[in-house]
Structure 1
């Protein structure tokens, strides 16, 4: 689904800000800690895919195909790539929530300060590790590594340091559309519904037109997931909102169609694992259902403080887990001869520890400073 210094797929989400205080018929206020937990679940799905649910470069890390390392679980792990679609649903929910009532300057400052500090450090860290003589993967050129710091390497055609950055490019385009059509004129229910309906219809027409520029801007294969998340945020504000439910249901129906079209590989005899259409639709449905349960307040009892920590670790974990995880797998499994299952678990633990360090010493230090500077009116 993507590549970078090497090749890959993944996705990334966003922070959950508290929703507005609701009125009658609306969900209870407070931080949605269950959403933080769901974000980490989606990230772990993607990690399972990268470590045991695909072929390619991860085969070099294990020394043989993950099919042989996980003969029972490798097909299940192959569905982990759908964590990306779940992330996009969460992102639609959270971006609508965090952009509601904000000025354009405040919205953009919050997005840039949220994304960039950990991203910059991850790019530098992965580039440095891949440049080590003992690491068998090739680093990108110095010029391409510098371009990666802009997060615009994909449209510029540069090699990617982080395999997951393709989803960040998708997210950036979503932010731009939402900022232009919702945040800048001022978010309200009617405007958000018009944005959802207009984007969904335009994305379908873009796919029918086979026009690359329209595909680039409107992202037909990913738009339904963002739009579905936005619809569920409107449901969170008022669970009796029929129009919001309609947006969500139509988005699911179209989104699962794109997911099946992209990921169903029954006709490929050389596929790493054969996903079924039922399995793909089921995972997408469960992703929508989980966010819907959170929107409706059904998971409000899941209010444990550790879920906030889990949510905070998700983005840095997402950034570093893929390629650095392969390095750890190689060291543990091939150099130290640790069995497959403990290697898998220890690699996840190591990447979560690294994510905590990035959150503690990079995000918590730089994000507030960057947000303050960018929020200043000029």
Structure 2
């Protein structure tokens, strides 16, 4: 049987890998209009597709959420536990971002407005709030989008699980993914003109396949029943179609490699040791606040460091910024987040 303690260590390390990949994407590739080095690293495949670290986060979430829901007595307890897990860092990091916006004025998204805090702390997409209130909600951090997807998954999966059973919950989540995927493919082939409502629907559910793959990985990990291995393989292959619109073969290869890393770390102990080490575990420990804080602050820090220390090699600029933001994220994860969580547990 699997070593439960080792499995958790591996998952923490995989979270560390996921945030490192996202950092490489934001630090070296996507914001080339702002980097002092421009498109210097644009040809690096590792950097270019680093955003797929988010899919690795979704796989891990599917694994962990099913593990969590099976230990929870009811839906509202499950939602309360998830909210207490997510809200403190979101609130703290959102306030840090807002209050430091004037100092990090080089932010790609500009100095944030007060109302920019609302989407993050409510975990509701900017576009949905704009439709509800008829006013704009400027983006605080673009990276928050994945949290909005996660929260939708928690509510829908949790409701289906406690109303029906595990199989129905997984099937329902996967059907939502398939419907969003088919709709996106039809739009690619101009069968439909994409409306704002369609865009919200696709954006909400197009990544749900990865949660199901993660959950099936957990089921197979626990019991080693071959039927779940076959279901897992089919689910992974189907989940790849979320990226069909990009028509990018390299992207698919990158995704498959990430899936193999995820599975290899869980099922092959010698490989899993790599992600059970101190470096990946430490980065995994701070991965949530680091993910929330990093994007705009990273770019602004790169610009600032280069301005005052132009002799520093280009490649090191994002690394220095990452170390700074990582230290800030450690303070949130180690001290501020647990303190607020303790308060909330007493109140709720």
TM-score, normalised relative to structure 2: 0.83
What does residue 251 of structure 1 align with? 235
What does residue 260 of structure 2 align with? 289
- Confirm or deny that 1:115 pairs with 2:86: yes
Which one of the candidate residues 205, 210, 225 is aligned to 1:225?
210
Segments of structure 1 that go 5 or more residues without pairing to the other structure are 1-25, 265-275
CA distance in 1, matches of 2:227, 2:211: 16
Moved more, 343-352 or 78-87: 343-352
What does residue 18 of structure 2 align with? 42
Aligned length: 324
What does residue 139 of structure 1 align with? 111
Label 1:49 to 1:242 Cα distance change in 2 as closer, same or farther (>3 A). same
What does residue 338 of structure 2 align with? 364
List aligned pairs for 1:203-352, cutoff 5 A: 203-208=177-182, 212=197, 216=201, 219-239=204-224, 241-259=225-243, 261-264=244-247, 276-277=248-249, 279-296=250-267, 298=269, 299=271, 301=273, 303-304=276-277, 307-337=280-310, 338-352=312-326
CA distance in 1, matches of 2:104, 2:298: 17
Label 1:280 to 1:134 Cα distance change in 2 as closer, same or farther (>3 A). closer
Label 1:325 to 1:257 Cα distance change in 2 as closer, same or farther (>3 A). same
CA distance in 2, matches of 1:141, 1:245: 48
What does residue 8 of structure 1 align with? none
What does residue 127 of structure 1 align with? 98
Label 1:330 to 1:306 Cα distance change in 2 as closer, same or farther (>3 A). closer
Give a deviation string over 1:50-89, Cα, whole Å, max 9, x none. Answer: 111224xx522x2352x22x3653x430110111111111
Aligned residues of 2:266 and 2:272 also touching (Cα < 8 A): no
Segments of structure 2 that go 5 or more residues without pairing to the other structure are 131-136, 184-191
Moved more, 302-311 or 159-168: 302-311
SS at match of 1:251: helix
List aligned pairs for 1:39-78, cutoff 5 A: 39-55=15-31, 58-60=32-34, 62-65=35-38, 67-68=39-40, 70=41, 73=44, 75-78=45-48
Label 1:142 to 1:185 Cα distance change in 2 as closer, same or farther (>3 A). same
TM-score, normalised relative to structure 1: 0.77
> Which structure shows the bigger proportion of residues in helix conformation?
2
- How far is the alpha carbon of 1:38 from its aligned partner? 0.7
Moved more, 344-353 or 131-140: 131-140
Give a deviation string over 1:16-67, Cα, whole Å, max 9, x none. Answer: xxxxxxxxxx423325201111111111101100111224xx522x2352x2
CA distance in 1, matches of 2:176, 2:121: 31
SS at match of 1:102: coil
Aligned residues of 1:153 and 1:159 also touching (Cα < 8 A): no
- How far is the alpha carbon of 1:116 from its aligned partner? 1.0
Give a deviation string over 1:252-273, Cα, whole Å, max 9, x none. Answer: 11122222x2444xxxxxxxxx
When the two chains are superposed, the root-mean-square deviation of aligned CA atoms in Å is 2.7
CA distance in 2, matches of 1:223, 1:111: 18
CA distance in 2, matches of 1:46, 1:230: 22
CA distance in 1, matches of 2:102, 2:120: 16
Label 1:353 to 1:228 Cα distance change in 2 as closer, same or farther (>3 A). same
Aligned residues of 2:157 and 2:170 also touching (Cα < 8 A): no
What does residue 269 of structure 1 align with? none
Give a deviation string over 1:116-159, Cα, whole Å, max 9, x none. Answer: 11111111111122234854652233233345432224221322
